Chain A
Amino acid sequence: MFKVRSLLALVIVVVTVIPSASISYLLLQQQYKANDASLQKSLDRALDNTVQDMDFKFSIFSTNFNLFSRERFLIQALDSFLFSSHAFTAMKDFVEQTPLVSSIYLLDRELLIVEEFQGSIAGLEDSELMKRLQRAVEEGHVKDGRQLLFQFRDPRMTNTGKNESGPSEYGIAVLMPLYLHVLQEGVTREVEGYILSVIPFNQVYGVINNHLQEGEALEIIQGQRPIAASPQADELRKQHDHQMAIKNLEIGANLTENALNYTLFLHVKRSTRLAQLAEAQQTLTGSIIVALVISMLIAYLLARLIGRPFNLLSSVLEQYKAGNYVAPTQRFRFMEFEQVRQLIAGMGDTITRQLRTLQDKNRELLHLGELKDDYLSKLTSLNEQLEQRVDEKTKELRVSLSREERSKRFMQSLLKLSIELQQCENNMEVTELSLQLLCELFPDEKLALYFAPSRYQNAFFVTEGIKSTEQLNVRDELEQFTSRKISELPKTIDLHHEHFYLFHLGSVSNQFLGALVVQSGQLDNEHQNNFRLFAKQISAIVENRQLTDELEVMARTDELTGLPNRKAFEEAVEEFRVIHERYPERHYGLFVVDANGLKLANDRYGHQAGDGLLKELGELMLNTCRKSDSVYRLGGDEFALLVQEGTLKGCELLMDRLVQEQGRHAIEVTEEGKRSEYVISFSIGFASTEEFPPNRLFKIADERMYDQKQTYYRMKNLSRQRSESNNDS
């Protein structure tokens, strides 16, 4: 279906644009014809310039060559080739300063090459050109002061020097005779040699090529024979818009003996060249385009003025269809359109009023719905808060219950520990048991238990979960606390970036007995209290055990001499007997030693002297017997000695050593202020299981001791009687 306004716009554009476009086309056609004529003239002119330039360059060459032929070095080199290096330098300079020439040869009168620069000796010697040169010389064509031109085709001679390769294999050789002296015109003389320049057509082409513009190609033709051609020439000739200019080129003419004639063809693609000539045409085309644009703009504005009311009414109807009942307020310029606008506006007002009533009703219903939603949302929130509080209370109760449970379990363990520790026989059992219980109670903790060394026990150190290197470090640290007050010691230590809690084991007098060690970054208060309670419990047991040990030792020690007492002796005798019963070959011996004169010492020098005598005797026996043997004080002045490995011989040896000590030791005594020495004397008796059964040993030894004592006193009385009779006499 067509729109009225579109059809109207199309009609207006066609009526406005078509006449303008037709006129423009006719104008452009005229312009094209003028350009064609201009192009041909331009090509002809370019060729004229090219030929003139070539003539000019050749004339310069010819003049220079003529002058160069009079160079003295050339004649000297022909005369003696000792001078040929100078000729070579001169020839080199000539070629370098003459753009057309690529190489040069100095020939003697037989046309043999004397010197050359950038030439091809083999090329010239074997060439057709050389034969032509010889013929020309023989036939007298070479004349004084005249240059003779030869066209030749030989790439060996043309592709040298300045142009290594090019479109042509042809060249022009220019020959000139050399004479020793310059004489008057018309006088004949003998030629000394020749100078030959080579002008390759590549050089000629290069000179011409400088005049060509982009897209142009040139051919140099002699008769029907192409001498040099641009590779694009053939291609351009085949183009439909090909255009060409032709011109004759004469090389030599008046300057040389002979001239060479060529035809130059200049090819061009018309469109390329026209593009360069199209400036004027572009102005015209531009003007036409501007005129067309203006006429189209006018047509557009006109179509818009008429089409706008249609467009507006159409859009109002589209809006009514979409529910927008607002009529345009702007009045139309045309009456018919204005009546339609008023009718539509009236209809729009009626529909709008009815719609507004419906919207009010809807708004009220929406408000009620919102109130209901708000109430429901508040109710849900209240429920959620209640549930959350119930959960929190439940959790608190669970935690409290768990703590109580743990505390109960701990107290039970503590009680169990207390009971079991009482039953332990030594510190090792105490440490092992304590650590075992601690590990059960605190499975996640790394623990150690250290007991400091005491008079009757060595140090103990056990760990659980602590690395061996850290164990050593902790033990070293704890060993330094021995014999120190707990109050002086740290509660935690840091060793090599590890944190340790120390729960010290202390005595009633606050003395350091050991420590419970926990390796942990952070311990809460409850844990610390628990470990502290454990430590207290273990402390009590350890201290108790130390006291018991001390009592036991005291019960078996003689207070005066510090030697084991009778109780210890009896226990030892029983132990020796049991061993001997199991291993009858292991004999032991028993010595009974009794101090002589103890009573006398007590009575005469006081009890201190008697005590000193007993102590000295105990020392004497300890120093005389072996380390493995044991010395006991049985009471009063009586001592005993138990000898391990106590064979009869062994006992006799010990007996000998003891006898040797008789009379060698004394104690210092004071009587009435006088100091004197009281010599120690003792009686000994021994028995070995090698001679007697164990149950008789003590008795035998005691009897033997008694025998010796009696002997001692007998001897002493006898001695005193002798002394008294001596005094009497």
Chain B
Amino acid sequence: MQSFLRACLAISLLSAPATAADIELWHAHQARAFIEQVVEKFTEETGVTVKITPFAPAKVKGELLLGAASGLTPDVILVPSDFLGLHQELKLTQVDADWNDSSLLDSAKQTTIISERQYGIPVIQGNHLMLYYNKAFVDSPATSWKELAKQQEELNQKGLKAIGWNYGEMYWFAPFLGAFDGWPMAGDKVTLNSPAMIKALNFYKQLSDRDIVPKWCDYDCAQKQFIAGEFAYSINGDWAYSDFRKELGDNLGLSVLPTIDGQPLQPMSSSFALAFPRMQKDSETADMLKSLSLFFQKEQSQLHIYHEFKLLPVNGKVFEQVRKNAIGDEKVILDQLALTKAMPSEPAMAITWEALAKGYKRFMDHGYTAERAAKYMQSLADRELKKYQGK
């Protein structure tokens, strides 16, 4: 079967125009090199060419939705698993069970299943936030926000800012909600108007009021400015690890996120999955895409991705091997993973994210109290969900 597939691919390659790629792949993962390297190997082995288009992470959802609405979609997208909840809007095609590698972790597979149907193939997991710090400025990383606040004064005297992250982005807000026992969704219900949300909003705001984190911080604080030595700490995802290690070398420190009065922050975890908009089953392209999916999942690729980029594998054998041998930063990545909660992949999650962001904006910039903002988020999400379900 394998050799037959290769023969088919070779024939199709010979008949294809020399300039056009066989497959087009869109993604918004920061560690784009891991995709490029795996794809390059794939091309070497199969002869199938892939055109890769990287998008800005903040824009990719809108671009995909617009593309899908206007019929301009690539063959395959590599997206966080919660995007699969929009399978209807993104026109994603269901995949069969034989697209999964035999060693694929069931937990990873579950992130791609919506209403008992699988809409994507996971290639990496984790995708969770962690606390990075610069050892040139910090001897011992803060384990709580109180400790970080104490270190802030000393860091400011050295002309440094304490910590930076993408402050206005809700993916970074979610761990604080988790620390107060809150979560945006419970099952398929939106749970934004909760006491936990009110506490989390107030706590989050006072961090910028006290200038522990600048209110204007965007993703540059967590990435470029942290590398430039302007910030002592950064909260960023596992996807940033390889870049940080390359830039900061031995000065890079990694730790689990600081606690709030002993309660650990609960970042979201998910997988990054390959998904296939408007795929014609039993087509030549579908064969190539299946081949690409299996290539990403196989042990050799998974090991390469982990060793080079410290992105956690979805291959069960590889993951077990990693878990057993983990030391130093690798162990911290796994420790933080243990404190995460899986990001819901329900269709309603996409709406919940937007409602959360709009309520947050009203709270931070437009004088809403936390109670009013939480109420607004909930009502907005309920209304939009109703509208969505009515379509």
Contact = CB atoms under 8 A, between A and B. Distances in A.
B65 interface: yes
A81 B65 contact: no
Contacts of A81: 351, 354, 358, 380, 384
A122 B366 contact: yes
Identify which of A81, A120, A121, A122 gathers the most chain B CB atoms within 10 Å of its CB: A81
A86 B62 contact: yes
A229 to B, nearest CB: 29
Contacts of B89: 80, 82
B222 interface: no
Interface string A82-124: 1111100000000000000000000000000000000011110
A593 B32 CA distance: 128
Contacts of A76: 66, 69
A83 B62 CA distance: 6
A82 B61 contact: yes
B362 interface: yes
Contacts of A120: 366
B216 interface: no
Nearest to A85: B62
Nearest to B65: A82
Interface in A106-153: 120-123
Contacts of B368: 121-122
A76 B350 CA distance: 16
Given A122-B367, A122-B368, A84 B354 contact: yes
Interface residues of B, number: 23
Interface string A606-649: 00000000000000000000000000000000000000000000
B246 interface: no
Interface residues of A, number: 12
Q: Which of A76, A82, A120, A123 gathers most chain B CB within 10 Å?
A: A82
Interface string B318-351: 0000000000000000000000000000000011
B326 to A, nearest CB: 38
Contacts of A86: 62, 66
B59 interface: yes
Contacts of A122: 362, 366-368
A80 B384 CA distance: 8
Contacts of B358: 81, 84
Interface string A199-213: 000000000000000
A429 to B, nearest CB: 86
A475 B382 CA distance: 117
B66 to A, nearest CB: 7
Contacts of B86: 82
Nearest to A114: B358
Interface in B352-369: 354, 358, 361-362, 365-368
A121 B359 CA distance: 11
A283 B380 CA distance: 75
B69 to A, nearest CB: 8
A82 B362 contact: no
Given A120-B366, A122-B366, A85 B388 contact: no
Interface string B174-210: 0000000000000000000000000000000000000
A254 to B, nearest CB: 36
B219 to A, nearest CB: 15
A82 B354 contact: yes
Contacts of A82: 61-62, 65, 86, 89, 350-351, 354
Contacts of A123: 366
A85 B354 CA distance: 9
Contacts of B350: 82
Nearest to A125: B366
Contacts of B387: 80
Contacts of A80: 89, 384, 387-388
A76 B86 CA distance: 16
Contacts of A85: 58-59, 61-62
Interface string A147-184: 00000000000000000000000000000000000000
A81 B358 CA distance: 10
A81 B350 CA distance: 10
Contacts of B362: 121-122
Nearest to B365: A121
A463 to B, nearest CB: 71
A80 B385 CA distance: 10
Contacts of B61: 82, 85
A157 to B, nearest CB: 12
Nearest to A108: B383
A76 B63 CA distance: 13
A154 to B, nearest CB: 14
Nearest to B69: A76
A121 B65 CA distance: 27
B364 to A, nearest CB: 11
A95 to B, nearest CB: 16
Interface in A323-350: none
A600 B62 CA distance: 153
Interface in B80-118: 86, 89
Nearest to A81: B354
A81 B382 CA distance: 13
Interface in B59-73: 59, 61-62, 65-66, 69
B59 to A, nearest CB: 7
B354 A121 contact: no
A547 B29 CA distance: 121
Contacts of B366: 120-123
Contacts of B58: 85
A85 B350 CA distance: 13
Nearest to B66: A86
A86 B58 CA distance: 11
A83 B66 contact: yes
Interface in B37-54: none
Contacts of B384: 80-81
A85 B66 CA distance: 11
Interface in B374-391: 380, 384, 387-388
A84 B354 CA distance: 9
A76 B69 CA distance: 10
A116 to B, nearest CB: 9
Contacts of B365: 121
A82 B366 CA distance: 21
B231 to A, nearest CB: 26
Contacts of B65: 82-83
Interface string A555-568: 00000000000000
B67 to A, nearest CB: 12
B328 to A, nearest CB: 39
19 contacts: A76-B69, A80-B384, A80-B387, A80-B388, A81-B354, A81-B358, A81-B384, A82-B350, A82-B351, A83-B65, A84-B358, A85-B58, A85-B62, A86-B62, A121-B361, A121-B365, A121-B368, A122-B366, A122-B367
Interface of B: 58-59, 61-62, 65-66, 69, 86, 89, 350-351, 354, 358, 361-362, 365-368, 380, 384, 387-388
Given A84-B358, A121-B362, A122-B368, 19 more contacts: A76-B66, A80-B384, A81-B380, A81-B384, A82-B61, A82-B62, A82-B89, A82-B351, A82-B354, A83-B65, A83-B66, A85-B58, A85-B62, A86-B62, A120-B366, A121-B361, A121-B366, A122-B362, A122-B366
In the A-B complex, the 3 residue pairs with the closest CB atoms: A121-B366, A122-B367, A122-B366
